[in-house]
């Protein structure tokens, strides 16, 4: 990723005309330096927000810095640069080139990495620039904006304002031809965007085909824009699943929606349950005089247009709308972070025009994030699967955004120090668009005499091992990964998770129980379990115990790449495991690779290579691998034909769609390959058949019918390979 960063030295070479006083030169130089620093910082934040879906700065802080940069640039026109973030919108376009260091840096954001692995989205030019909106947090600035609108209309004050909720999601532009959805572009850089139409087709609220009452209702070609979101309910389920797998949590639904929309696996996109609201029809294809009329046209055709739209005819009506929704929005099923105001008349919009990056006829008012003052009672420390120790603030209970908050994340030791946090402090806790409460400030003047500063622990709270901290990292971790209980149980939970070995019936609670009963110590112990050992445990019987044993047996079909991911090498995530498994066809080949060879693999830098070498150098890991191999796990890639189960599917290309009861999708993919077939993610004339489960994707079904591709049920497929 080549960011549009600005070198401070370039700005330092600016010549100031005339003979200013020394203090003026010093001030001008300081402001030039500040401009350079702000440009760099804001571009980096744009990259984290739009591309990684993992911002590290709040919207309010970003907006304040952007306004500061705009003010400085207006004072220094001699420092104008067309690449400044004030002159363009942030870009969500997937980068075609990334250095190994950048890939490694982004490894914790698995969704972001997946989008650039092996396939890129088509980039398409927008028919009309897809700009961002000017925004404000001040009601007085709303009144000032209206005065600018009146001035831009030559004093005309007969102006209707359409008020709409500002949904906190990802901008999308949908293109229809002859009534059919043909493209779906992200905002991108405002000029071009990524075509994510296959993922958009998984969203039930986006029509694939539209029909009008008359031929005039549906133009031959038109575009409609809106927002893709993840509802709160779906967001919470997604984060619960990620937490169980010890994957990084999404901070808010917007980040989750953005990460989801750029996934390459359309079935995973469908499972997450995105929504879409449409709010703007550009161009002249739809005859209308107002923005509101166009929205009602879209609603009649079946587009999901918000019901909470109001045409206001005075500033008082606008303010009433803002005040009402500042509270009422908390009952909505989706995240909103403000109100968008648009001039209703299309004629007046045209008169007002655009700036370089925003329309003059619209503005966004952003709500203040809700925050409350409470007391820090204590700090506890949690140990994760990889040994990372995370501090958690235990708070005096306080109501925030409709829920009772008792705990808040403290991130790491550096974060605690930056707050100068003491036990008993009165702290401000904020939720806003974040589902995870966080402490944003401390009321130092209310600190009690003798209050003790919060210090990071030196030993693991679970096993007593001295903690370690690698150079350049912010996190402390427990190195005792063979005997520290949370790490051992975490490894087991990771091993059986859906993206790893996918062993049905083994969740966190069951793993905890089996561990406490002494039946499990490491992952290899799973393959020694007996049904009668489980059946006598609380909450189990013969049937449920046998289900777990069957799931363990079926896991022996899981392919090499997922087995590599499952064994839990530090820093080797799902995507990196796939890259390594593709290059090294067996665990023996991977074990023999030195650091230099490992670093020639995509996504593998020095840190990951060192972790792999360290993993295979340890005797306990060697013994675990030997036991898993003896149990029959696939520590090899058999795509050459070795260890195949049959040839019933030789030469056939098969697409899997829907949900199944007999096996998981990944198990069916493994079976297809084991019997000589080839898996494909899309339907084409080369598709031999579709293995169709419940809730098959409508786009695949439509294409199959068009191409005459046959559909097989689970039972029919298993009969072909004689596993019924």
Q: Look at residues 240, 239, 234, 303 and name the one whose alpha carbon lies nearest to residue 271.
A: 234
59-75 and 22-46 helices cross at what angle (nearest 10)?
140
State the pLDDT at residue 494: 92
Separation between Cα atoms, residue 439 and residue 408, nearest integer Å: 7
Confidence of residue 639 (pLDDT cuts 50, 70, 90): low
Q: What pLDDT, on a 0 to 100 scale, did the predictor assign at position 99? A: 36
Give the mean model confidence (pLDDT) for residues 366-381: 91
- Segment 226-247 mean pLDDT: 82
Of the listed ranges 28-37, 531-540, 583-592, 650-659, the least confidently predicted one is 28-37
Contact 424, 447 (CB under 8 A): yes
Q: What is the pTM of this model?
A: 0.56
Residue of higher predicted confidence among 96 and 201:
201
pLDDT of 508 over the 60 cut = yes
φ/ψ bin of 701: left (φ > 0), alpha (ψ from -120 to 50), beta (otherwise): alpha
Instruction: Determine the Cα–Cα distance for residues 251 and 660; give it in Å rounded to an integer.
Output: 31
Arithmetic mean of pLDDT, 62-76: 81
CA distance 82 to 356: 10
Question: What is the dotted CATH code of the domain comprising 130-366?
Answer: 3.30.470.30
Q: Note if 103 is an active site residue.
A: no
Look at residues 195, 194, 172 and name the one whose alpha carbon lies nearest to residue 277. Answer: 172
Tell me what the mean pLDDT of segment 312-329 comes to. 94
When the candidates are 2.60.40.10, 3.40.50.10680, 1.10.287.610, 3.50.30.30, the CATH number that belongs to 8-111 is 1.10.287.610
pLDDT exceeds 80 at position 20: no
Q: Which one is predicted more confidently, 46 or 448?
A: 448
Give the whole-number percent of the chain exceeding pLDDT 70.
86
Determine the 3-state secondary structure of 545 from DSSP: helix
Question: How many Å is the maximal CA-CA distance in the chain?
Answer: 92
Q: How confident is the model at residue 213 (pLDDT cuts 50, 70, 90)?
A: low
Does position 14 have pLDDT exceeding 60, yes or no? Answer: no
Q: Which residues contact 75 (CB under 8 A, 6 or more apart)?
A: 31
73-87, 456-470, 543-557, 600-614: the lowest-pLDDT one: 73-87
Confidence (pLDDT) at 181: 94
pLDDT score of 244? 66
* Number of residues written out for the chain: 724
pLDDT score, position 647: 81
Q: Residues 60-74, buried b or exposed e (16+ Cβ, 10 A)?
A: eebbebbeebeebbe
CATH 3.40.50.10190 fits 653-720, yes or no: yes
DSSP structure string for 355-417: -SSSBTTEEEEEPPPPEEEEEEEEEEEEE-TT-BEEEEEEEEEEEETTEEEEEEE--SHHHHH
pLDDT, tens digit, for every residue of 272-283?
A: 999 999 999 999
CA distance 695 to 710: 16
| Banded model confidence at residue 650, pLDDT cuts 50, 70, 90 | confident
CATH entry, 371-446, from 2.40.50.140, 3.40.50.2300, 3.40.50.300, 2.40.270.10: 2.40.50.140
pLDDT of residue 232: 87
278 three-class SS: strand
- Phi first, then psi, for residue 348 (nearest 5°) are -70, -35
Mean pLDDT for all residues in the chain: 84
Distance separating alpha carbons of residues 665 and 562, to the nearest angstrom: 13
In this predicted model, what pLDDT tens digit does every residue of 227-236 receive, in sequence order? Answer: 999 998 898 8
Q: What is the full DSSP assignment across 289-355?
A: SBHHHHHHHHHHTT----S--EEESSHHHHHHHHHHHHHHGGGSSS-EEEEEEEESBHHHHHHH-B-
Helix (H/G/I), strand (E/B), else coil: 680? strand
pLDDT at 369: 77
Among 5-9, 322-326, 513-517, 670-674, name the one with the lowest average pLDDT.
5-9
Task: Read off the pLDDT band of 104 (50, 70, 90).
Answer: very low
CA-to-CA distance for 269 and 378, rounded, in angstroms? 40
Does residue 133 have a pLDDT over 50?
Answer: yes
Alpha-carbon distance 332 to 264, whole Å? 30
Confidence of residue 400 (pLDDT cuts 50, 70, 90): confident
Q: Which of 166, 371, 431, 489 is catalytic?
A: 166
Q: What is the C-alpha to C-alpha distance for residues 536 and 546, in angstroms, rounded to an integer?
A: 12
Q: Is the pLDDT of residue 442 over 90?
A: yes
Cα–Cα distance measured from residue 3 to residue 1, given in angstroms and rounded to the nearest whole number: 6
pLDDT of residue 142: 95
Instruction: Give me the residue spans of the domains in the chain.
Output: 8-111, 130-366, 371-446, 653-720
- pLDDT recorded at residue 620: 92
User: pLDDT value at position 276?
Assistant: 95
pLDDT band (50, 70, 90) for residue 645: confident
Specify the residue for token string 């947090």: 137
Backbone angles phi, psi at 399, to 5 degrees: -85, 130
Three-state secondary-structure class, residue 458:
coil
Mean pLDDT of 381-402: 87
Q: What is the pLDDT of residue 381?
A: 95
More confident residue, 472 or 133: 133
Is the pLDDT at 109 greater than 60, yes or no? no
Q: Which SS3 state, helix, strand or coil, does residue 466 take?
A: strand
């Amino acid at each position: 990723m080549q960011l549009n960063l600005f070198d401070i030295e370039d700005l330092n070479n600016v010549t100031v005309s005339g003979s200013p006083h020394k203090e003026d030169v010093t001030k001008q130089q300081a402001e030039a330096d500040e401009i350079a620093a702000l440009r760099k910082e804001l571009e980096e934040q744009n990259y984290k927000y739009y591309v990684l879906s993992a911002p590290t700065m709040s919207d309010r802080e970003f907006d304040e810095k952007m306004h500061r940069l705009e003010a400085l640039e207006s004072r220094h026109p001699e420092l104008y640069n067309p690449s400044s973030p004030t002159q363009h919108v942030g870009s969500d376009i997937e980068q075609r080139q990334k250095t190994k260091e950048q890939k490694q840096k982004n490894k914790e954001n698995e969704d972001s990495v997946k989008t650039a692995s092996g396939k890129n989205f088509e980039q398409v030019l927008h028919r009309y620039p897809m700009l961002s909106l000017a925004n404000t947090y001040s009601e007085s600035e709303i009144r000032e904006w209206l005065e600018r609108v009146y001035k831009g209309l030559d004093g005309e004050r007969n102006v209707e304002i359409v008020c709409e909720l500002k949904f906190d999601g990802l901008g999308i532009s949908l293109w229809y031809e002859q009534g059919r959805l043909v493209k779906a572009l992200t905002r991108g850089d405002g000029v071009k965007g990524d075509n994510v139409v296959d993922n958009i087709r998984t969203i039930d609220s986006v029509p694939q085909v539209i029909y009008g009452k008359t031929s005039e209702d549906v133009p031959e070609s038109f575009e409609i824009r809106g927002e893709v979101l993840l509802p709160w309910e779906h967001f919470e389920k997604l984060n619960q699943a990620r937490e169980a797998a010890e994957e990084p949590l999404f901070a808010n639904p917007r980040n989750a929606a953005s990460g989801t929309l750029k996934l390459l696996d359309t079935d995973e996109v469908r499972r997450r349950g995105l929504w879409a609201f449409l709010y703007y029809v550009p161009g002249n294809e739809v005859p209308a005089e107002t923005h509101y009329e166009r929205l009602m046209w879209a609603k009649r055709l079946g587009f999901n247009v918000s019901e909470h739209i109001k045409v206001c005819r005075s500033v008082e009506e606008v303010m009433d709308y803002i005040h009402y929704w500042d509270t009422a929005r908390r009952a909505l099923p989706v995240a909103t972070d403000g109100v968008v105001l648009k001039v209703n008349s299309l004629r007046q919009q045209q008169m007002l025009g655009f700036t370089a990056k925003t329309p003059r006829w619209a503005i966004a008012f952003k709500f203040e994030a809700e925050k409350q003052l409470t007391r820090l009672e204590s700090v506890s420390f949690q140990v994760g699967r990889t040994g990372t120790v995370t501090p958690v603030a235990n708070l005096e209970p306080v109501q925030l955004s409709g829920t009772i908050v008792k705990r808040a994340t403290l991130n790491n030791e550096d974060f605690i120090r930056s707050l100068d946090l003491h036990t008993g402090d009165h702290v401000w806790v904020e939720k806003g668009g974040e589902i995870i409460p966080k402490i944003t400030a401390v009321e130092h003047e209310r600190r009690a005499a003798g209050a003790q500063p919060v210090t990071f622990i030196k030993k693991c709270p679970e096993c007593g091992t001295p903690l370690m901290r690698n150079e350049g990292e912010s996190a402390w971790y427990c190195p005792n990964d063979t005997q520290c209980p949370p790490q051992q149980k975490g490894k087991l939970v990771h091993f059986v998770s859906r993206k790893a070995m996918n062993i049905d019936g083994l969740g966190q609670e069951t793993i905890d129980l089996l561990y406490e009963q002494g039946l499990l110590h490491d992952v290899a112990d799973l393959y020694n379990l007996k049904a009668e050992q489980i059946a006598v445990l609380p909450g189990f019987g013969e049937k449920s115990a046998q289900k777990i044993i069957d799931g363990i047996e079926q896991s022996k079909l899981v392919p090499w790449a997922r087995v590599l991911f499952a064994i839990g090498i530090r820093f080797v995530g799902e995507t990196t495991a796939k890259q390594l498994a593709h290059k090294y066809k067996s665990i023996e080949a991977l074990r023999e690779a030195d650091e230099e060879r490992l670093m020639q693999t995509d996504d593998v830098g020095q840190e990951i290579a060192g972790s792999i070498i360290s993993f295979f150098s340890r005797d306990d890991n060697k013994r675990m691998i030997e036991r898993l191999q003896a149990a029959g796990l696939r520590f090899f890639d058999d795509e050459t034909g070795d260890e195949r189960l049959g040839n019933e599917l030789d030469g056939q290309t098969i697409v899997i769609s829907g949900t199944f009861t007999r096996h998981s999708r990944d198990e069916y993919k493994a079976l297809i390959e084991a019997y000589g077939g080839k898996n494909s993610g899309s339907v084409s004339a080369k598709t031999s058949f579709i293995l169709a489960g419940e809730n098959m994707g409508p786009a695949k079904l439509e294409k199959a019918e068009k191409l005459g591709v046959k559909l097989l049920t689970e039972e029919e497929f298993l009969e072909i390979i004689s596993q019924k």
